[in-house]
């Protein structure tokens, strides 16, 4: 497979971007810029590299886009009900630049999934309350936009990942963004006084006690404990990183980062995420026990035992988790989620054609939210799209594990996609772009990888650091 070289034009674009960043940083230090102004300045710098960097700029921009997922709730407010995340702006810019590179579009085997094509007419029909008047256009646009972002993400991912060597920096950036989120959450949890040193970035860092007495981390740097939604999707890519960088120090850093992310998930206190991690551990041990199973089990045990020793009322938290899974909630949070789910199901049955965008509120389940907003049929299409993609991914993963072909990457994608499904089913991410984009990112990675494996089943790709080119003859 052909590779691209960094041309003089690319280097000039990067050099200009670096100079602009340095000048902006120095000016910001002297004039006391806020974090919003810093973000806008950084976005402008990235934009220079993306626009003038050609194909290299698109790849570079998409890697940086993965890092912007760590910005959390640092958004630009348009109206009270509509905010813009910096990653959205960068994503649309990448899409425009990708279309400007016609050769990339022709060679990327771009294809929109069937279920997404079937959903698009319902996206348009979801605006019907605007005809009658009285609807809040910004609330409707907020939810519509979060689904629409999946399209440019699919396109840009297909263009960038057409070259196999782009997988490594992209997934590493996603893993690093999650590690940073975890690190900041853990620091805030055990050293809440850190907020006094960074008052513009950290607020209310002191852990909050739940009804069962469990002390939950605030992740105020990100904007809430839902920061761990990213961690549970990123930590499975540790397998691929361990195989891509075999040096002992790189592997030690990857394992430490994975442990940090697991600890962040633990102190985040989301019981559903605990269940997902348990499911991921069981799945990984069953599919890849010979190579990674024991290490995974030991690492999870260390994090779990350590958390049990230093975080109070862990047992009580686990018991409320079991009660919620049995559909017999014993605390207000679980009861509220159950009530919202039941109420959304009743509304969907009463109005099977949907009530329009943003009519459901936030029911903590995107499948149910789509059923209320757009109708039962599009909800079933959405659910079928996920389940069939999961089925295809599971089948390809088993084949790769059996043949030793992209085994670690395949396993990481499968475990991350399981976590993405949990977010869609019991969390609800379509209400905010910072929650939806990481889920769509994982889904886009899965779609691109499945398409690549289906297009060239007879070719295996060497993902070792020194060689990212096809190896012929691997069966």
Reported as a single tens digit per residue, the pLDDT across 114-170 is 899 999 999 998 888 887 777 788 888 989 999 999 999 999 999 888 888 889 999
Say which range, 1-10, 197-206, 323-332, 343-352, has the weakest mean pLDDT: 1-10
Supply the mean pLDDT for the chain: 78
What is the Cα–Cα distance from 290 to 267, expressed in whole angstroms? 30
Q: Break the chain into its structural domains and give their ranges.
A: 8-471
* Mean pLDDT, rounded, for 292-320: 57
Reported as a single tens digit per residue, the pLDDT across 459-469 is 334 443 333 33
267 and 312 in contact (C-beta within 8 Å)?
no
Instruction: Determine the pLDDT at residue 455.
Output: 72
* Mean pLDDT, rounded, for 226-245: 92
Nearest to 179 by CA among 250, 236, 238, 260: 260
Residue 77 has pLDDT above 90, yes or no: no
The token pair that represents 196 in the structure block: 């006094």
DSSP letter string, 102-165: HHHHHHTT----HHHHHHHHHHHHTTTHHHHS---HHHHHHHHHHHHTHHHHHHHHHHHTTSGG
| Total residues found in the chain within this entry | 475
The token pair that represents 384 in the structure block: 């079928």
Residue 93 has pLDDT above 90, yes or no: no
What is the Cα–Cα distance from 475 to 395, expressed in whole angstroms? 16
Residue 199 has pLDDT above 70, yes or no: no
Instruction: Determine the pLDDT at residue 462.
Output: 40
91 and 152 in contact (C-beta within 8 Å)?
yes
Residue 181 has pLDDT above 80, yes or no: yes
Is residue 118 classed exposed, middle or buried when 0-12, 13-18 and 19+ CB atoms within 10 A define those classes? middle
Residue 250 has pLDDT above 80, yes or no: yes
Instruction: Determine the pLDDT at residue 411.
Output: 92
What is the Cα–Cα distance from 380 to 386, expressed in whole angstroms? 10
Reported as a single tens digit per residue, the pLDDT across 388-399 is 999 999 999 988
Residue 296 has pLDDT above 70, yes or no: no
Residue 82's beta-bridge partner residues? 79
Query: Can you state the percent helix, strand and coil of the chain, rounding each to 5?
Result: 70, 5, 25
Nearest to 73 by CA among 193, 267, 229: 229
Q: How confident is the model at residue 472 (pLDDT cuts 50, 70, 90)?
A: very low
Instruction: Determine the pLDDT at residue 47.
Output: 67
Instruction: Give the whole-number percent of the chain exceeding pLDDT 90.
Output: 29
Instruction: Give the whole-number percent of the chain exceeding pLDDT 70.
Output: 70
Q: How confident is the model at residue 376 (pLDDT cuts 50, 70, 90)?
A: very high
Cβ partners under 8 Å of residue 474, min gap 6: 403, 405, 458, 459, 460
* Mean pLDDT, rounded, for 352-379: 90
């Amino acid at each position: 497979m052909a590779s691209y070289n960094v041309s003089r034009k690319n280097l000039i674009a990067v050099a200009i971007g670096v100079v602009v960043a340095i000048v902006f940083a120095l000016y910001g230090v002297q004039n006391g810029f806020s974090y919003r102004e810093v973000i806008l300045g950084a976005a402008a710098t990235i934009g220079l590299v993306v626009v003038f960097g050609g194909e290299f700029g698109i790849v570079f921009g998409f890697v940086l886009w993965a890092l912007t997922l760590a910005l959390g709730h640092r958004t630009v407010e348009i109206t009270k009900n509509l905010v813009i995340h910096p990653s959205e702006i960068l994503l649309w810019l990448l899409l425009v630049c990708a279309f400007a590179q016609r050769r990339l579009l022709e060679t990327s085997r771009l294809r929109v999934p069937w279920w997404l094509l079937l959903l698009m007419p319902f996206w348009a029909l979801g605006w019907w309350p605007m005809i009658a008047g009285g609807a809040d256009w910004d609330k409707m646009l907020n939810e519509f936009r979060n689904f629409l972002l999946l399209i440019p993400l699919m396109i840009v991912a297909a263009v960038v990942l057409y070259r196999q060597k782009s997988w490594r920096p992209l997934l590493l950036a996603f893993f690093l963004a999650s590690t940073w989120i975890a690190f900041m959450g853990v620091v805030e949890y055990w050293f809440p006084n850190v907020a006094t040193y960074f008052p513009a970035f950290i607020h209310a860092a002191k852990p909050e006690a739940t009804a069962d007495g469990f002390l939950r981390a605030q992740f105020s740097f990100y904007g809430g404990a839902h920061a761990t939604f990213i961690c549970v999707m990123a930590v499975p890519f540790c397998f691929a990183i361990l195989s891509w960088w075999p040096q002992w120090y790189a592997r030690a850093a990857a394992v430490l980062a994975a442990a940090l992310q697991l600890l962040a998930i633990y102190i985040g206190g989301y019981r559903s995420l605990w269940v997902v991690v348990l499911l991921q551990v069981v799945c990984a041990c069953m599919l890849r026990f010979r190579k990674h199973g024991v290490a995974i089990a030991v690492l999870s045990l260390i994090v779990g035992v350590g958390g049990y020793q230093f975080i109070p009322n862990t047992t009580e938290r686990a018991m409320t988790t079991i009660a919620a899974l049995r559909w017999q909630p014993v605390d207000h949070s679980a009861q509220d989620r159950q009530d919202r789910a039941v109420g959304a199901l009743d509304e969907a049955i009463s109005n099977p054609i949907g009530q329009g965008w943003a009519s459901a509120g936030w029911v903590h389940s995107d499948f149910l939210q789509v059923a209320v907003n757009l109708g039962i049929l599009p909800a079933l299409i959405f659910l079928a799209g996920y389940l069939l993609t999961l089925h295809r991914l599971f089948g390809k993963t088993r084949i790769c594990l059996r043949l030793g072909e992209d085994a670690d990457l395949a396993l990481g994608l499968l475990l991350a996609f399981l976590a993405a499904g949990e977010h869609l089913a019991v969390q609800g991410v379509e209400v905010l772009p910072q929650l939806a984009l990481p889920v769509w990112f994982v889904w886009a990675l899965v779609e691109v990888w499945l398409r690549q494996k289906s297009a060239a089943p007879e070719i295996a790709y060497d993902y070792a650091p020194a060689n990212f080119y096809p190896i012929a003859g691997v069966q």
